[in-house]
Every structure is written in structure tokens, then in C-alpha cells.
Amino acid sequence: MWSPADIHAFPTPNDLEPAKEAIEEVESQIANTTQLMAQTQLRLKALEKELEKELEIRKAWISPVRRVLDDVLSLIFEACGELHWKMPLCIAAVSRRWREIILATPRAWAYIQFNFPRRIEGLDQFFTRSGQCPLHVYLPHDEQLTLLSSVSHRLKSLSIGELPRNMDDIYFPYLNTLNIRNPSHYVDLCDLNQLFPHLQVLKCMRLGVRSNTELESWESIETPPLKSLSLKVVMVGPPLFMVLQSVKDTLVSLKVIVEAGNSIHGSDIVLPNLQDLTILYHSKEPASWLQNMKTPNLKTYIESSSVGSPEPICKNLDTVQRASFTRKVDITPLRKLCLLQLEPLADILHILDQLSQDVNICPKLELITIQLFHETFPAWDEVEDTDEIDRKKKLAHETQVNVEHRLSEVNALRSQQIRIVFAPNFDSDVWGAFDGICRLSFANIHYIHGFSRVNHVVQVNLTGRRM
């Protein structure tokens, strides 16, 4: 390549031509180098992808999941299908082995949601791949019920917005669970017996009996053998009495959303086999029909209400072992109470006051679970106001000291020691789940941080911080 004799001297006319040629040559070399770098970069990226693919193959080859037996994967896939109806389709796209396993697991295809009407034509594969397994179906639209006519004999559970008035062409002989989410008219319990003769679990906010049925003839009403019933009470009268009395011999669990009080013309409801009772009380009127309800075998009582009286709505609670309340309540009638759930944090002091005044109150009580609201003790980094932080800390400390002191006084008087558990969430499905797993800070006060099903337990104090 040409170079000037003296780089510091001014170029002569004879130097211009070779200088331009030298510049063009350098520019060409730069362009070639840039192109070569781009090509090399592409080759490097391609090589990187190839190596990553090879790495995934090597990792997959030694992956522990390859050693999982097909039967175990089948159980896992079945659980996935229960969580979401699309999961079998996703699992089938993972690998050849997984596709073979999921296709050989009919129960994984038994959970169906008709959420996408445009894809209804693809539902046949769920019906086919589920074999003869019982089906669990969710219908967002009532008119889609006719699509189940070919598999109605296989339905085990059904959730539907509203039950069509005309169902002469469809029969569900083995349906076990029915959820009618938003009925616009009263559903006749007698009609349900004709359509669902083996129905055991029913959730229907508007339930009744034929208007021409006399009160004296309720014993002759043919109804499904219901074990669990959830309904809304908007009008108290003979129809409600007849509904409950017609299933009294089989009913084990009852949930009522009460929007009407008063009595049922002096008639007492008797449910001899009822074990679980949940009451969501929204009425301003007294509910003597609930107060007089006879439940000699009741074990679990859940009440959500804001009535002013400290007494529980139901009076016959002598046999209750597990109870839950959302208000300040007198627990004296619950003589066999073992587990107690409370929502408002302030109620625990009221309960401890009762227990300290009389050692014979709830002598078998061993566990109190209190819902620890996030709004009561938020994480400090979520509160910008320093005064608010100080107030929350002070409230947490005072509550901790009060509860700890009161509980020590109560346990000093009782042979059966009481433990207190603070949890962010709880529900009726976790009765006893806290027993035996809480051995944390303080002798008898425990704090749970996690989900309602107690996925994990850590030590925290009342401020919400981990210890």
C-alpha cells in the first residue's frame, strides 16, 4: 500500500492520485472486515443455538423427570387437567412420551369448560379421550346444555348459569353435583328429582317446591338424596320448610344466605343428620326459624353476620366442635368446642375475657385461629407515612402484649391449654390443618404466613415481619 515519503509535508499534485487509491483500499478493507465480522457473528449465533439445543438434549437426557414412572406422570397429568381444562392439550405438545401418557389418561380429559363457543367443535375430542370416565362440565351459556345430550349419562358434576325450563330431551341419571349459578326463576326441587335422581350436592340460590303442594304433604315429596345444599332465603314460609324437611334424612351439609327473617308459622325445622351448617346472614329481622332449628348431630358451625346480639344465631349448638364467627360472640353455648375461628382481631380479647371469667366455658377448646388482615399490619415498606408506621407498630406491640398476657392467665386456670394461631387467610376446608404443625415463637401463640391451605409456615411477629 502506498505511503507518503513525509507524512508531515504537504502533498504534491503527484501524490494525490496514489493517496486516493490508498484511501479506497483502506475503506475496502474496513468494509470487508465489517462484512466478515457480521458473517462471523451469524455463525457464532448459529453455533450458540446449536450448542444450547445440544445442552437441552443433554439436560433432558439426565433429567429426573425421565425416571418418573408413567403411572406417576399419569396421576400428575390428571391433577393438572382438574386445575385447568386446557392443560391436557398443553401437556400433549411437550413430547412424544408425554403425549402418549396423556392420551392414555382418560381422567385428565374429564374436566371440561365451554368457555369458548368458537371451539365447541373441539369438545368431541374431550368426550372421546375421556373414555367412559365421569365428566365435570362448566357451561357459561344455558343453550349449550343440548351439547351434553350424548354424554349426559356420564356427567358427575355440572355448573350452569340457569337451568332451562324445558329439559324433556335430556336426562342426567348419575349427576352427583349441580351448581345453578344465576337462576332467574325458582327451581323446583321435585323437578330436580326427575332430572337428577342421584343428585347429592346442590348449590342453587332460588330453590322451591310446587305452589300447589300442601304443607301437610311434604313427607310425600320425592326429592334427590341431597347430602349438601346451598341456597338463598329471600322469603320465609312453607316452601322453605318443605325444601329442608324433604331432604332432612340425607342432608349432611347446609349453607344458607339469609335475606329474610321471621318464623315459618311456628314450624320447627328438624335436620337430624346435619353435621355442617354455614349461615351468611344479611337480614335485619330476627330469624326464629334458624334459632329453633334442631340439629342434634351438628359438628361444624360457621356464621357470618353483623347482628347486634352477642349470641349465635342458632341456639342448638351443644354438639358443635368447630365454629367460625365474624363478630363478637358469646361462646358459652358451645360446650364441646375444640377449634374456633375468628375474623376481627379485636374479638380475641373478648373471647379471652370470657374464658378467664369461667374456666368451665368450652373446656375442650384447644385452638383459636384468627385471620390476620393485611390492612391491620401491612408491610412497612408499603406505608409512606412515618407516623402511620409508628402507629401500626404501636398497635401491633400492644396487641401482642395483651393477647400474650391474657392467654397466659387463661391457660394457668385450665387443664386443656389453648393455642392461638394468626393466619392471613383461612376457610372451612382447613379445619385441624394447623394442629400439630405450629411450634413457633411464644409458648402458645403462633403466626402463620402463607395461603389458606397452609402451604408454608414461618416465624413472624404481630408486626408482620419474619423473625
Q: What is the pLDDT of residue 376?
A: 46
Residue appearing with cell numbers 335436620: 271
Radius of gyration over every alpha carbon of the chain, rounded to an integer in angstroms: 35
Instruction: Give the CA distances from residue 313 to residues 179, 218, 346, 349, 353, in Å, rounded to whole numbers and listed in that order.
Output: 27, 26, 20, 21, 21
pTM of the full predicted structure?
0.71
Provide the terminal-to-terminal Cα distance of the chain, rounded to the nearest Å. 75
The DSSP output letter for 186 is P
For the record, the C-alpha cell of 58 comes out as 443433554
What is the pLDDT tens value at each position of the chain, 467 positions in all? 678 777 777 887 888 888 888 888 888 999 999 999 999 999 999 999 999 999 988 888 888 888 889 999 999 999 999 988 889 999 999 989 999 999 999 999 999 887 655 556 678 889 999 999 999 999 887 767 878 888 999 999 999 988 887 776 788 999 999 999 888 777 877 778 888 889 999 998 777 665 554 444 555 667 788 999 998 876 655 667 777 888 888 999 999 888 765 555 446 788 999 999 999 888 777 677 777 889 999 999 999 887 777 888 888 899 999 999 988 889 999 999 999 998 765 578 888 989 998 989 999 999 998 876 544 444 444 545 677 777 777 776 777 788 888 899 999 989 999 998 877 665 544 343 333 333 233 334 444 433 233 333 322 222 233 33
Are 404 and 442 in contact by the 8 Å Cβ rule? The answer is yes
For the record, the C-alpha cell of 163 comes out as 337451568
State which amino acid sits at residue 216.
E
Q: What is the pLDDT of residue 346?
A: 56
Buried b (16+ CB within 10 A) or exposed e, 406-430: bbeebbeebeeebbbbbbbebeeeb
Q: CB within 8 A of 391, min separation 6: which ones?
A: none
What are the start-end ranges of the E strands in 49-200? 111-113, 135-139, 155-160, 177-180, 187-188
| Half-sphere exposure in the Cβ direction for 129 (13 Å, CA) | 23
What are the start-end ranges of the E strands in 289-385? 300-304, 322-325, 339-342, 367-371
> Could you tell me the residue ranges of all domains in the chain?
321-467
CB-neighbour burial class of residue 270 (10 A; exposed 0-12, middle 13-18, buried 19+): middle
In angstroms, the CA 428 to CA 449 distance is 18
Are 286 and 310 in contact by the 8 Å Cβ rule? The answer is no
Q: CB within 8 A of 385, min separation 6: which ones?
A: none
Pick from 267, 260, 268, 255: which is nearest to 300 by CA? 255
Q: What is the pLDDT of residue 246?
A: 81
Pick from 424, 423, 460, 346: which is nearest to 435 by CA? 423
For the record, the C-alpha cell of 429 comes out as 376446608
Residue appearing with cell numbers 390428571: 78
Residue appearing with cell numbers 415481619: 465
Would you tell me how many other CB atoms lie within 10 Å of the CB of residue 272? 11
Q: CB within 8 A of 366, min separation 6: which ones?
A: 338, 339, 416, 417, 418, 419, 435
Q: What is the pLDDT of residue 119?
A: 59
| Half-sphere exposure in the Cβ direction for 112 (13 Å, CA) | 34
Region of residue 350 (left: phi > 0; alpha: psi -120 to 50; beta: else)? alpha
Instruction: Give the CA distances from residue 85 to residues 81, 115, 141, 151, 227, in Å, rounded to whole numbers and listed in that order.
Output: 5, 10, 17, 17, 27
Q: What is the pLDDT of residue 217?
A: 54
For the record, the C-alpha cell of 240 comes out as 322453605
Residue appearing with cell numbers 351443644: 318
